[in-house]
């Protein structure tokens, strides 16, 4: 039994420029140009066209109902024998495109990204919209099955959050910095993988490994170019945090400058789910969880058993005491940034497969959740970050059983606030004067 | 630490404040602060465990003890900056156990801090004005209408100038407090505390970090407090200072009160010697007989009356 | 050739634009929070959203007159400040930052969700609430002004109201910061314990400051939406960051700073994007497209925030000796 994945393509609306300009976006068209013979409506009336290609397993699907709504305009059309559809729209606005799942053949459902997608135009007058189809039944699923499914999804999400959260927690512990730019370190990994695999054509595994290494270098570079000089200068913690906010803003738009405002897919995303009893997982999900667990175990081993790892925990716990004991604090901080960067990059890659999609602000979307996870678990403790991340991941996914899915982040944020009320030092944090 | 300071005037000691024998927790004839059954544990370590303690009114009481004895923790508990696990205490007869720090301050029990908290980003005069009590202008709605608080502000200003003159800081009234020396900041903190006309002044290591030239001045100011009818409780490590100005001494060790009494007698108390010698006191240092003599010698020196 | 005239006049009009006023007021609110009290409120966007939605929903769904809608918005703001403040004002500064961001995001998500779509318009937002405000306009219809500053009666009315509110808020803030209340606030900013030891109820002062700055933000939100529509995506965290950029530019603990900072910010931003856009059109920058020109603005703001905080944290009008957050 499977059901539509709980993950909605959470694409936030772009900020309407305050001077009244629309922020238009470049899109990468992942499908080829539309063929001449699609089932279409209003394309001769209007200049702008939304189009798409409905396929399952490489086979086009006919007679699927696609509807478009937005800016006071509504239209619908069915796909033709090639699975193609085109709808003309009057304005260059954002429209909501929906696929009516009841018109899909039996056994096929919209697998990832949801049956409703927000489509925004790029430079051109044609915007393509694609739905991910997978095998599945649309029959009603028992609550228990849903619960188990979302629980597993929540674990998956929590594990990838943990990768980012541990880095952030260690950075906070060793340098005191609340690093808002961690979002961009996450995005960097996904963007690097995208360039390496799609643009440069490297095999995906090679691309991933190189991307992780590059992320580590990126982390190191940020520390060397920005954070270390500021630490030496003696800049206070609050100004440092504000610097990280400015850096995050600048980097995010640099990413948008080079990669555009749209969403692209990494190779291999959108694989169909395999079923294990009530649980539906795609091979990607399984790989993601497996890799997360392995890497987390490696990090745990590093922190608990190796000398450098123990030094890291010491510095994270009490930098001045560690320094007085002869530990090379600068060296430890360097390592924390490299490892934190690499972990964030890996987290970004897994997040790209989970969403699914790579975009310029994908890291920023989960930044708050990562903050929530590290604060929940106890700022400065790596294991706290892991615990907090799992809790946040589970909350986000399980809350969709009761809350509408576009409110699912609210659950995690409320938990954050509640935990801070009752136990400000977090679950594993040490109790010090917090106020 | 200054070892050879001599105050300008030989202080007049207040005596005969206790009832019965001078033992830990003994009653006082006129206590201003009465503490009962206060305890505070930090992660398994009992930092403070005081059964009964009374602080006499109108006298200068010293709270001494080795490091880690719990003096500052007790201070924090009594002034509301920390919450005890158990216990209650009364100030001027009113129970204030568990009361918030700012309310305790309003009742007339003010404190200073080991690491001076002179507000460096405000001017000296602003620091002083902050210390004044019951200011109408501190209410958000009344603040918008200056005519409501202008007169009170002017009065406070006069009082502040008067105090600053006494502490020889009046020329600095418009300077930022950050530009004062460490010792001057201590004086400012003390002067500021006096703006609210307190009844009990609690000083946490007033001599810490102050250069010897200024300790004279500080001692005189503390004696002045008593002259003006206030009670003083201070924490200190400097034994000579304690001996010179304290009327009563309370000794803490490992969270408990181990001795109370007149400064001279307390120093000779076996329990006090034990506290300062610490664990090694019971061990056989027989391997090096000279070592033992050295330790005891040092304490004897400490106890000697040099005057 | 580049139309310098258009670039300059487009930039100049930003000086009195109601958006500039709205940002100035929001920044003034943050000046009260962060500049004067040391509260790291990163949820100012949430306060602004409450003002915008409070006003719009009261007008559209309940049909309230202007003054009632304004009061509803302010009421919502006070409640939000209380909800925010009660748990967090006892926590350390960076905890407050994270909680306020989270709370503002929750507010935005609640306004965006389809669940409340009939009232909030979800992702599409709300419009059509300007009528009541327009009806109060005493200026007869027509076009007034000169050069680039030519507007119709509604636009002038809006500008007059907006900037009057800003000036009143400035005067109010200036007065209370010179008073004993302001002195306590500045003390709290530097060292809470010291102020507590002097008998002041620190918690109450912080709460008052939070409410006051929040109300400023809420009114700013109302001014913000009067020339445009209420769209939830406007109230993301980046809005708060922009307001902080303005605040830091002008001077975090000053009254003039937020106002002049907002003016300079918008004039410069308009000038810069106007220039880059036309330069791209004129072919001066062949490697860039005009969309990328738009993105450059944000990169500029980000870098500007970093540079200001590192090299001139007191901003234009601030006093370095009084800076509390640089430690």
Domains along chain A with CATH numbers: 1-140 (2.60.40.10), 145-422 (1.10.3470)
Residue B1 lies in a domain: no
Tell me what the pLDDT averaged over chain B comes to: 83
- B168 phi and psi angles, rounded to 5 deg: 60, 40
Residues B124, B114 share a domain: no
**Mean pLDDT across A325-333:** 88
Residues B259, B144 share a domain: no
Domains of chain C (ranges, CATH numbers): 4-322 (1.10.3470)
Residues B203, B93 share a domain: yes
Output A277 or B187, whichever has higher pLDDT: B187
Q: Exposure pattern of B86-114 as b/e (b: 16+ CB <10 Å)? A: ebebbbeeeebbebbbbebbbbbbbbbbe
Residues B132, B93 share a domain: no
CATH of the domain at B111: 3.40.50.300
DSSP 8-class letter at C226? T
Interface probe, candidates B78, B83, B119, chain C, greatest C C-beta count within 10 A: B119
Contacts of residue A19 in chain C, CB cutoff 8 Å?
A: 270, 273
DSSP 8-class letter at A327? -
Residues B167, B45 share a domain: no
Contact between chains at C212 and B133 (C-beta distance less than 8 A): no
Residues B35, B103 share a domain: yes
**Mean pLDDT across A151-180:** 92
Residue B7 lies in a domain: no
Give the H or E element holding residue A172.
helix A143-175
Residues, chain A, total?
A: 435
In A91-130, the residues whose Cβ lies within 8 Å of chain C are 118, 123
Give residue B99's pLDDT.
87
Q: Flag whether pLDDT at B188 surpasses 90.
A: yes
Question: Please, which chains are in contact with C (at least 3 CB pairs closer than 8 A)?
Answer: A, B
Cα–Cα distance between B196 and B129 in angstroms, integer? 10
Q: Please, which residues bridge with residue B234 across strands?
A: B62, B203
Of B73-77, B300-304, C320-324, which range is least confident?
A: B300-304
Residues with Cβ within 8 Å of A344's Cβ and at least 6 positions away in sequence, in order, are A163, A164, A167, A168, A182, A185, A186, A188, A189, A215, A219, A363
Locus of tokens 């240092």: B285
Contact between chains at C179 and B101 (C-beta distance less than 8 A): no
Looking at the complex, report in whole angstroms how far the Cα of residue A219 sits from the nearest Cα belonging to chain C.
18
- pLDDT tens-place string over residues A101-119: 778 877 777 776 677 888 8
Residues B161, B103 share a domain: no
Q: Flag whether pLDDT at C87 surpasses 80.
A: no
Residues B234, B101 share a domain: yes
Q: Flag whether pLDDT at B293 surpasses 70.
A: no
Interface probe, candidates B80, B96, B101, chain C, greatest C C-beta count within 10 A: B101
Contacts of residue C327 in chain A, CB cutoff 8 Å?
A: 236
Residues B40, B59 share a domain: yes
- Given A235, A237, A249, which is nearest C298 (Cβ)? A249
Q: Does C196 touch chain B (CB under 8 A)?
A: yes
Residue B14 lies in a domain: no
- pLDDT tens-place string over residues B11-66: 778 887 888 787 888 888 888 999 999 999 887 788 899 999 999 999 999 998 88
Q: What residue numbers bound the domain in which B212 lies?
A: 31-118+197-279
Q: Is the peptide bond before A356 cis (omega within 30 degrees of 0)?
A: yes
Residue B157 lies in a domain: yes
Minimum Cα–Cα distance from B117: chain C residue: C194
Give residue A138's pLDDT.
54
Contact between chains at B143 and C198 (C-beta distance less than 8 A): no
Residue B11 lies in a domain: no
Residues B154, B57 share a domain: no
Residue B172 tokens, joined: 């600095």
Q: Exposure pattern of A226-255 as b/e (b: 16+ CB <10 Å)? A: bbbebbeeebbbbbbbbbbbbbbbbbbbbb
Output A435 or C120, whichever has higher pLDDT: C120
Q: Flag whether pLDDT at A269 surpasses 80.
A: no
Contact between chains at B121 and C323 (C-beta distance less than 8 A): yes
Output B278 or C61, whichever has higher pLDDT: C61
Residues with Cβ within 8 Å of C107's Cβ and at least 6 positions away in sequence, in order, are C43, C46, C49, C50, C80, C235
Please give the tally of structural domains in chain B: 2
Give residue A163's pLDDT.
95
Residue A319 tokens, joined: 């930098």
- pLDDT tens-place string over residues C44-56: 999 999 999 999 9
Q: Exposure pattern of C285-311 as b/e (b: 16+ CB <10 Å)? A: beebbbbbbbbbbbbbbbebbbebbbe
Residue B257 lies in a domain: yes
Residue B5 lies in a domain: no
Residues B267, B170 share a domain: no
Report pTM.
0.79
Q: Give CA separation, B66 vs A271, A289, B4, B254, B279, in Å.
A: 69, 55, 21, 9, 12
Report whether A278 contacts A1 (CB < 8 A). yes
Of B251-255, B266-270, C233-237, which range is least confident?
A: B266-270
Q: Give CA separation, A212 vs A33, A344, B16, in Å.
A: 33, 8, 78
**Mean pLDDT across A6-22:** 32
DSSP 8-class letter at C69? H
- Given C106, C232, C233, which is nearest A413 (Cβ)? C106
Report whether C290 contacts A252 (CB < 8 A). no
Q: Flag whether pLDDT at A432 surpasses 70.
A: no
Residue B292 lies in a domain: no
Locus of tokens 């959050």: A161
- Given A230, A235, A414, which is nearest C106 (Cβ)? A414
Q: Does B13 touch chain C (CB under 8 A)?
A: no
- Band (pLDDT 50/70/90 cuts) for residue B292 is very low
Give residue A6's pLDDT.
33
Residues B229, B171 share a domain: no
């Amino acid at each position: 039994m499977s059901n539509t994945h709980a993950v909605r393509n959470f694409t936030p609306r772009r900020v309407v420029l305050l001077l009244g300009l629309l922020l238009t976006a470049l899109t990468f068209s992942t499908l080829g140009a539309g063929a001449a013979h699609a089932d279409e409506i209003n394309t001769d009336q209007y200049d702008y066209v939304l189009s798409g290609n409905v396929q399952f397993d490489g086979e086009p699907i006919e007679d699927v109902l696609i509807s478009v709504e937005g800016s006071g305009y509504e239209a619908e059309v069915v796909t033709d024998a090639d699975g193609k559809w085109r709808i003309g729209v009057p304005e260059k606005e954002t429209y909501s495109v929906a696929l009516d799942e009841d018109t899909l053949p039996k056994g096929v459902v919209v697998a990832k990204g949801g049956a409703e997608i927000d489509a925004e135009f790029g430079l051109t007058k044609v915007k393509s919209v694609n739905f991910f189809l997978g095998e599945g039944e649309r029959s009603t699923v028992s609550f228990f099955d849903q619960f188990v499914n979302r629980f597993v999804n929540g674990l998956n999400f929590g594990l990838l959050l943990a990768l980012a959260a541990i880095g952030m927690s260690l950075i906070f512990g060793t340098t005191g910095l609340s690093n808002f730019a961690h979002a961009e370190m996450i995005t960097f990994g996904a963007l690097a993988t995208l360039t390496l695999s799609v643009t440069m054509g490297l095999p995906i595994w090679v691309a991933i490994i190189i991307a992780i290494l590059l992320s580590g270098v990126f982390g190191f570079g940020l520390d060397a170019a920005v954070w270390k000089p500021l630490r030496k200068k003696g800049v206070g913690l609050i100004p440092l945090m504000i610097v990280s906010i400015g850096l995050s803003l600048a980097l995010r738009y640099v990413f948008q400058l080079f990669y555009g405002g749209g969403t692209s897919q990494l190779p291999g995303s959108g694989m169909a789910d395999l079923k294990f009893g009530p649980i539906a997982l795609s091979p990607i999900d399984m790989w993601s969880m497996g890799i997360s667990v392995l890497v987390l175990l490696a990090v745990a081993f590093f922190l608990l058993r190796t000398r450098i790892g123990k030094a890291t925990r010491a510095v994270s716990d009490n930098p001045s005491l560690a320094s007085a004991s002869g530990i090379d604090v600068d060296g430890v901080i360097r390592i924390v940034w490299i490892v934190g960067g690499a972990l964030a990059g890996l987290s970004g890659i897994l997040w790209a497969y989970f969403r699914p999609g790579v975009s310029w602000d994908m890291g920023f979307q989960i930044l708050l959740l990562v903050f929530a996870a590290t604060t929940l678990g106890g700022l400065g403790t790596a294991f706290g970050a892991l615990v907090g991340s799992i809790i946040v991941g589970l909350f986000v996914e399980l809350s969709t059983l009761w809350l509408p899915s576009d409110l699912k982040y609210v659950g995690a944020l409320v938990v954050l606030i509640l935990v801070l009320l009752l136990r400000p030092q977090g679950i594993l944090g040490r109790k010090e004067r917090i106020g | 630490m200054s070892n050879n300071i001599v105050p300008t005037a030989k202080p007049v000691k207040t005596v005969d404040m206790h009832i019965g024998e001078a033992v830990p927790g003994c009653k006082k004839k006129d206590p201003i602060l009465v503490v009962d059954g206060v305890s505070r544990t930090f992660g398994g370590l009992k930092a403070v465990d005081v059964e009964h303690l009374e602080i006499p009114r109108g006298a200068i009481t010293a709270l001494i003890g080795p490091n880690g004895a719990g003096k500052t923790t007790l201070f924090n508990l009594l002034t509301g900056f920390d919450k005890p696990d158990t216990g209650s205490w009364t100030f001027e007869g009113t129970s204030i156990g568990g009361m918030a720090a700012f309310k305790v301050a309003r009742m007339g029990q003010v404190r200073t801090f080991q690491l001076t908290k002179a507000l460096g980003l405000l001017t000296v005069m602003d620091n002083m004005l902050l210390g004044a009590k019951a200011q109408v202008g501190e209410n958000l709605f009344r603040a918008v209408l200056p005519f409501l608080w202008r007169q009170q502000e002017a009065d406070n200003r006069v009082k502040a100038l008067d105090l600053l003159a006494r502490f020889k800081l009046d020329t600095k009234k418009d300077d930022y407090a950050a530009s004062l020396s460490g010792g001057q900041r201590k004086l400012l903190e003390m002067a500021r505390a006096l703006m609210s006309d307190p009844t009990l002044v609690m000083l946490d290591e007033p001599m810490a970090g102050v250069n010897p030239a200024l300790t004279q001045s500080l001692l005189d100011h503390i004696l002045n407090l008593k002259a003006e009818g206030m009670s003083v409780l201070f924490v200190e490590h400097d034994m000579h200072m304690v001996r010179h100005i304290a009327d009563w001494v309370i000794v803490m060790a490992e969270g408990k009160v181990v001795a109370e009494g007149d400064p001279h007698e307390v120093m000779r108390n076996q329990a006090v010697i034990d506290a300062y010698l610490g664990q090694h006191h019971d061990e056989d240092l027989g391997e090096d007989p000279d070592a033992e003599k050295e330790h005891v010698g040092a304490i004897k020196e400490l106890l000697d009356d040099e005057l | 050739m580049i139309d310098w005239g258009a670039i300059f006049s487009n930039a100049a009009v930003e000086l009195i634009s109601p958006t500039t006023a709205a940002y100035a007021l929001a920044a003034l609110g943050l000046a009260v929070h962060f500049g004067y009290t040391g509260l790291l409120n990163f949820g100012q966007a949430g306060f602004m959203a409450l003002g915008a939605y409070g006003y719009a929903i009261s007008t559209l769904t309940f049909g309230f007159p202007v003054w009632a809608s304004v009061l509803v918005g302010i009421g919502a703001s006070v409640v939000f400040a209380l909800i925010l403040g009660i748990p967090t004002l006892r926590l350390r500064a960076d905890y407050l930052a994270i909680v306020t961001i989270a709370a503002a995001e929750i507010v935005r998500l609640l306004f965006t969700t389809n669940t409340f779509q009939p009232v909030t318009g979800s992702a599409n937002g709300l419009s059509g609430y300007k009528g009541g405000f327009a009806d109060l306009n005493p200026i007869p219809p027509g076009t007034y002004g000169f050069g680039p500053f030519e507007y119709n009666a509604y636009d002038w009315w809006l500008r007059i109201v907006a900037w009057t509110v800003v000036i009143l808020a400035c005067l109010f803030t200036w007065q209370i910061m010179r008073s004993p209340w302001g002195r306590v606030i500045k003390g709290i900013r530097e060292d809470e314990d010291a102020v507590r030891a002097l008998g002041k109820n620190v918690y109450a002062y912080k709460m008052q400051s939070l409410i006051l700055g929040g109300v400023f933000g809420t009114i700013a939100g109302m001014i913000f939406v009067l020339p445009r529509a209420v769209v939830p995506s406007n109230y993301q965290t980046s809005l708060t960051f922009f307001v902080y950029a303005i605040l830091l530019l002008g001077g975090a603990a000053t009254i003039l700073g937020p106002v002049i900072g907002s003016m300079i910010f918008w004039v410069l931003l308009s000038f810069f994007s106007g220039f880059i856009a036309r330069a791209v059109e004129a072919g001066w920058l062949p490697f860039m497209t005009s969309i990328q020109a738009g993105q450059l603005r944000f990169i500029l703001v980000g870098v500007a925030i970093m540079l200001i905080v590192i090299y001139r944290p007191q901003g234009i009008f601030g006093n370095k000796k009084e800076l509390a957050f640089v430690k």
